[in-house]
Amino acid sequence: MSKGVHYRMGKLCDNGRLFVFMKDALMKREGEVRIPSGCAIAAVISRKKENIPGSLIIKAMGPMHDRSNGLGGGFAGYGIYPEYKDFYAMHLFFDNRDSRKACEVFIKEYFEIVKSEVIPTRKIPSITDEPIIWRYFLHPLMSMMLSLQLDEKSFVARAVMKINTELDGAYVFSSGKNMGTFKAVGYPEDVGLFYRLEEYEGYSWTAHGRYPTNTPGWWGGAHPFSLLDYSVVHNGEISSYDANRRFIEMYGYKCNLQTDTEVITYILDYLIRVKGLTLNEAANVIAAPFWSTINGEKDRRESEIHAYLRKTFPSLLITGPFSIVLGFEGGIMALNDRLKLRSMVVGEMRDRVYIASEEASIRAMDDSAKEIWAPAGGQPVIVRVEDERA
Amino acid sequence: MTIDAADLDYRCINEEIRKVDGKCIITSCLGQRFIASGMSNIDIEIEGIPGNALGSYLNGGTITVHGNAQDAVGDTMNDGKIVVHGNIGDAAGYAMRGGRIYIKGDAGYRAGIHMKEYQEKVPLMIIGGSAGSFLGEYQSGGVIIVLNLNSRRQKSVGFFPCTGMHGGKVFLRSRCEDVVFPPQVIRRSATDEDRNELRSYLEEYCDLFSLDLEEILFSEFTVVTPDSKNPYRRMYVAN
């Protein structure tokens, strides 16, 4: 898209604080400016945990090309690092060599570096201005964990927050075990090519094509947003961002990028990992049914649970349009906002489940997919691999 | 004339359609948007999945889809006919102001949102299966019929049907006992007069999908119209 088009699009932004034109915004970074998204999401999972090549999920994004504008694309793959499955795979963007060196000093204070390497990429004309992109397979240092009195996952989450908040020029964009997020500024098909995704295999993949409206579109701001093994791809624009952010920042999360997807990721990590809610319960917090619907529910217990969750976590209700796919170790969850202001369809074939913003995307992955259906607003679709339940 | 859409974007497809005089079959369609947008005098059949805004601003002619259609089919269409032999996505017939949309299967959320009418221009949408939530939201004219045949959903219509309705008419082939309508609309059972009106709408539809018109008409129908005695004072409720 040309700069001229951006210019026409823009007056814009933020909840009244900043008024700049998109032209200027384009020169800024995520977190420095908020501009008032259309997007595309897709996902595939093999219930039998069979390997799916990254090339399949790239195909899904082809028919939805026009839903993005080239300012962000990304993927998350699960089960892609079987040789290092016991270590946290941290993917980082660095501005320059110095920021990498400084960050490595920090990392070594907290972790044992089992392996560190440049993430292999492919030079293509459509992806430019890339930062330095590295990955580290890390083992948390027990002595540090004991002195901080944190469990392993909290320890890793805190380290991620610290790097992203305090270290200039370093940004962690993936930090789970046996999974990885790959993202960039560009169209998703190009981003997949750039990261050589055809060389990876995993049992589940999620994908995102971005049409940023609130932020200028920087590599870190592309989706998926991830923390530990949770990753979120999101189509929409949530109107409860500030209310959600104020709440979640009380619990040690730092929303650095002003993008709504970041806060969704932290909310889900908080509800599921920290508070121990089930996926279904978490869905009923963020996309809670209307009070009129809760009061009309025939199942009394169901009604009580819904009311309890709404009352307990009122600040984590997410309003405004969204369709998201949450990836996690061993499964995925798709969810629409309760008014269903974004489209999302689900299809199945054999042990595979496909999810996408458009049916055409599912057909691009598997023309024979059956039972294409659209979940209702607020109705979570949870798919787990088979041996996870055992 | 057949157009193989496999390697064409929507602009190329529409250019090809404009060149055709008479029937046109589009094959291997996969998500291309805006097909036949703003066109008239066309006769198109589509194999595959057409993208969003199929037949938007359509001004005449017929589009037949042999499968499912995505979102915003017939957005602001003015005339003509769109026939879908499968399910349809969200916001079908968005702000439709004329013409007909016939769906064999289910419709997504917000079917017929902001449909309108003016004098002889009365749009018609018939949904063979069930409809999602917010059916006929802000409807200000036209006719929406939900037949509730062979749907995978349990209810003929989702939550909050006819919210903001201030014109037009909705027919639901159901007693709608468990459906909550807003206080600003009137719901009642169909009368003989309503059934005659329904017959005129359903003839072409039943013909197209080989359905028994008499059997369908024999069922209980609920009719919803705006209640002019109880106009909108406070549109948005506390959530």
Residues of B with CB under 8 A from a CB of A: 30-33, 48-49, 51-52, 68, 70-71, 87, 89-90, 108-109, 132-134, 152, 158-159, 180, 237, 239
Do residue B89 and residue A374 have CB atoms under 8 angstroms apart? yes
- Among candidate residues A14, A9, A128, the one with its CA nearest the CA of residue A70: A128
CA distance A256 to chain B (A): 30
Q: Residue A372: which of B48, B51, B68 has the nearest Cβ?
A: B68
Tokens read off for A380: 């979570």
Asked if B131 contacts B157 with a C-beta cutoff of 8 angstroms, the reply is yes
Q: Is residue A262 part of a domain?
A: yes
CA distance A367 to chain B (A): 10
Q: CA-nearest residue of chain B to A339? A: B133
Q: Residue A293: which of B32, B52, B159 has the nearest Cβ?
A: B159
Strand-pairing partners, residue B23, are B43
Res B155: pLDDT: 86
Q: Is the pLDDT of residue A390 over 80?
A: no
State the DSSP code for A241: H
Q: List the single best residue of A211, A235, A358, A362 to mutate versus B (max B Cβ within 10 A).
A: A358
Q: Which residues of B17-45 are buried (b: 16+ CB within 10 A; e: fewer)?
A: beeeeeebbbeebbbbbbbbbebeebebb
CATH of the domain at A323: 3.60.20.10
Pairs of residues, one from chain A and one from chain B, whose beta carbons lie less than 8 Å apart: 63
3-class SS at A154?
A: helix
Model-level pTM? 0.91
Res A258: pLDDT: 73
Asked if B165 contacts B181 with a C-beta cutoff of 8 angstroms, the reply is no
Q: Is the pLDDT of residue B24 over 90?
A: yes
Measured distance CA(A199)–CA(A218) in Å, rounded: 25
Strand-pairing partners, residue A328, are A331
Q: List the single best residue of B159, B181, B237 to mutate versus A (max A Cβ within 10 A).
A: B159
Q: List the single best residue of B8, B66, B133, B237 to mutate versus A (max A Cβ within 10 A).
A: B133
Q: List the single best residue of B33, B34, B49, B75 to mutate versus A (max A Cβ within 10 A).
A: B49
3-class SS at A141?
A: coil
Q: Is residue A3 part of a domain?
A: no
The average confidence (pLDDT) of chain A is: 89
Q: Residue B180: which of A296, A343, A358 has the nearest Cβ?
A: A296
pLDDT band at A25 (very low <50, low <70, confident <90, very high): very low
Measured distance CA(B180)–CA(A12) in Å, rounded: 39
Q: Is residue A299 part of a domain?
A: yes
Res A388: pLDDT: 56
This complex has an ipTM of 0.92
Do residue B133 and residue A361 have CB atoms under 8 angstroms apart? no
Query: Before A216, cis peptide (omega within 30)?
Result: no
Counting DSSP H helices and E strands in chain B, the numbers are: 3, 11
CA distance B173 to chain A (A): 21
Asked if B52 contacts B71 with a C-beta cutoff of 8 angstroms, the reply is yes
CA distance B205 to chain A (A): 23
pLDDT band at A9 (very low <50, low <70, confident <90, very high): very low
- Among candidate residues B92, B31, B50, the one with its CA nearest the CA of residue A40: B31
Q: Is the pLDDT of residue A42 over 90?
A: yes
Strand-pairing partners, residue B81, are B62, B100
Q: Provide the Cα torsion B21, B27, B32, B33; round to 10°.
A: 50
Q: Which residues of A300-332 are buried (b: 16+ CB within 10 A; e: fewer)?
A: eeebebbbebbeebeebbbbebbbbbbbbbbbb
Tell me which residue has tokens 């409860």: A240
Do residue B89 and residue A343 have CB atoms under 8 angstroms apart? yes
Strand-pairing partners, residue B100, are B81, B124
Measured distance CA(A55)–CA(A62) in Å, rounded: 11
Q: CA-nearest residue of chain B to A289? A: B239
3-class SS at A116?
A: strand
- Among candidate residues A35, A37, A12, A43, the one with its CA nearest the CA of residue A341: A37
3-class SS at B142?
A: strand
Q: Is the pLDDT of residue A16 over 60?
A: no
Question: Among the listed ranges A18-32, B4-18, B171-185, which one has the minimum average pLDDT value?
Answer: A18-32
Res A17: pLDDT: 29
Measured distance CA(A212)–CA(A234) in Å, rounded: 11
Query: Do strands A111-118 and A132-140 pair parallel, antiparallel, or not at all (unpaired)?
Result: antiparallel
Residue A61 belongs to what domain range? 34-384
Q: Residue A360: which of B31, B108, B237 has the nearest Cβ?
A: B31
Tally of CB atoms within 10 A around A195: 27
Res B150: pLDDT: 81
First to last CA, chain B: 53
- The pairs formed by B231-238 with CB atoms below 8 angstroms and a separation of 24 or more are B231/B166, B231/B184, B232/B164, B232/B166, B232/B184, B235/B164, B237/A292
DSSP letter for each residue of B43-93:
EEEEEEE--SSTTTT-EEEEEEESS-B-SSTTTT--EEEEEESS-B-SSTT
Res A257: pLDDT: 79
CA distance A328 to chain B (A): 28
Measured distance CA(A258)–CA(A92) in Å, rounded: 19
Q: Is the pLDDT of residue A13 over 70?
A: no
Q: Cβ contacts (< 8 Å) between A66 and chain B: which residues?
A: 33
Measured distance CA(A286)–CA(A15) in Å, rounded: 22
Measured distance CA(A154)–CA(B113) in Å, rounded: 47
Tokens read off for A324: 């998201």
Measured distance CA(A146)–CA(A152) in Å, rounded: 10
Res A218: pLDDT: 81
Average pLDDT over residues B223-233: 88
Report the catalytic residues of A. 39
Q: Residue B30: which of A293, A339, A360 has the nearest Cβ?
A: A360
Q: Residue B133: which of A291, A343, A377 has the nearest Cβ?
A: A377
Q: Is the pLDDT of residue A51 over 80?
A: yes
pLDDT in tens, B44-101: 999 999 999 999 999 999 999 999 999 999 999 999 999 999 999 999 999 999 999 9
Measured distance CA(A207)–CA(B37) in Å, rounded: 29
Res B231: pLDDT: 79
CA distance B49 to chain A (A): 6
Q: Is the pLDDT of residue A368 over 50?
A: yes
Res A12: pLDDT: 28
For domain B2-236, the CATH superfamily is: Glutamate synthase, alpha subunit, C-terminal domain (2.160.20.60)
Do residue B89 and residue A359 have CB atoms under 8 angstroms apart? yes
Q: Which helix (H) or strand (E) holds A137?
A: strand A132-140
Res A20: pLDDT: 33
Do residue B49 and residue A363 have CB atoms under 8 angstroms apart? yes
Q: Cβ contacts (< 8 Å) between A343 and chain B: which residues?
A: 70-71, 89-90, 108
Q: Residue B152: which of A296, A373, A377 has the nearest Cβ?
A: A373
Q: Is the pLDDT of residue A87 over 80?
A: yes
How many domains in chain A?
A: 1
Residues of A with CB under 8 A from a CB of B: 63-64, 66, 290-293, 296, 339-340, 343, 345, 358-361, 363-364, 372-374, 376-377
CA distance A325 to chain B (A): 19
pLDDT in tens, B88-135: 999 999 999 999 999 999 999 999 999 999 999 999 999 999 999 999
Q: Is the pLDDT of residue A195 over 90?
A: yes
Average pLDDT over residues A318-334: 96
Measured distance CA(B162)–CA(B134) in Å, rounded: 6
Asked if A318 contacts A222 with a C-beta cutoff of 8 angstroms, the reply is no
3-state per-residue secondary structure call for A72-107: CEEEEEECCCHHHCCCEEEEEEECCHHHHHHHHHHH
Question: Could you give phi then psi for residue A306, rounded to 5 degrees?
Answer: -60, -40
pLDDT band at A256 (very low <50, low <70, confident <90, very high): confident
Res A97: pLDDT: 97
